[in-house]
Structures are given as structure tokens and as C-alpha cells.
Amino acid sequence: MIRIDETPLDPAALTAEFMRSVGDAGAVATFSGIVRREGDHAVDALFLDHAPGLTRAAIENAVKKACARWPLINHLVAHRVGRVGSGETVVFVATAAAHRRAAFEACDFLMDFLKTDAPFWKKQISRGGEEWIEPRAEDYADRGRWR
């Protein structure tokens, strides 16, 4: 399942819901990305822009690739858009598989994809002003591990 909207994400509730949809999986991996309260610039919030059709199509394609590479039983990719306050969850990914390695790696793959290859644009809002954030070199290197 893919979910892209402005609704706040509750990782505990999402995990509980996901656990009810994994059949006889032996492994579930989850990742929550949270807007840091105190980074280098005392971040108040992020603003996430996206291109609805393009963004969904790109994530669907990444999920397809993940399913072709690992035997996933189920997946959830949930991403906030709009304003996301510090301390709030901006992204949640869950993967279920028979064994842990597939669940871990597919979750990792999907997160690396979301950081650099999914059509989202992230503006950091702090007391010092606003700044559009681009991926770091490490993010591109992380993504490169899967090519």
C-alpha cells in the first residue's frame, strides 16, 4: 500500500495495522523518519512539495522493483506532504517477508529510493528562514548500493 497525504503518521498505529496484514510472515521491518527538533538550524518544520501523479507512479515503480528483488509478503510506504512539524513522522516504511534479510533490505532499498529518486521537494523552515534541501552525497551513495 502507498499513502501520500497531509495526514499525521502514527508509527505505532501503522505498525499495528500492518502487522494484521502480513499473514504468516516471519519478519517485519519498519522505518520511521522523524523531523529532527534540533538540527544545525533549530528546525521548526519541513514543507514537502510533490507532484501527485508522478510521485505515486515513481513509488509504485520502486515497490515493483522491491517485489521483484525480494519475496515480500506485504509493504507499506506512507509519506507526508505539506507542513510537517519538528518531532513529527514524515515517512514510514514497513515490509514483511518470510525471513529477516528480505524485510530489512527491501525496507532499506525503499527508504534510499525515497530520499533521492521520489519526486518530493523538501523545504526546511527555521527561525533563520527557509531553505530548500537537496540530498547529501551520502544519500546518493546509499541509493547507489542497489544499482
Partner 1 sequence: MVRFAFYGKLADLMGRRCDFECAQQKISVGAAIALLCETDPAFKEALLRTTVKFAVNDVIVETEFIVAAGDEIAVLPPFSGG
Burial class of residue 137 (count of CB atoms within 10 Å of its CB; 0-12, 13-18, 19+): exposed
Instruction: For partner 1, give the closer residue by CB, 16 or 57.
Output: 57
Smallest distance from the beta carbon of 47 to partner 1, in angstroms? 10
Smallest distance from the beta carbon of 140 to partner 1, in angstroms? 10
Collapse the DSSP code of 142 into the 3-class scheme (helix H, G, I; strand E, B; otherwise coil) and give the result: helix
Instruction: For partner 1, give the closer residue by CB, 13 or 57.
Output: 57
d(CA 69, CA 7): 30
Interface residues for partner 1 in 95-124 (CB under 8 A)?
111, 114-123
Interface residues for partner 1 in 127-146 (CB under 8 A)?
132-135
The vertex-65 CA angle with 35 and 118, nearest 5°, equals 35
Instruction: For partner 1, give the closer residue by CB, 7 or 99.
Output: 7
Instruction: For partner 1, give the closer residue by CB, 47 or 98.
Output: 47
Beta strand 72-80 pairing with 129-133: unpaired
Q: Calculate the dihedral angle through the C-alpha atoms of 38, 12, 69, 72, rounding to the nearest 10 degrees.
A: 180
Smallest distance from the beta carbon of 11 to partner 1, in angstroms? 14
Interface residues for partner 1 in 16-75 (CB under 8 A)?
33, 48-51, 53-54, 57
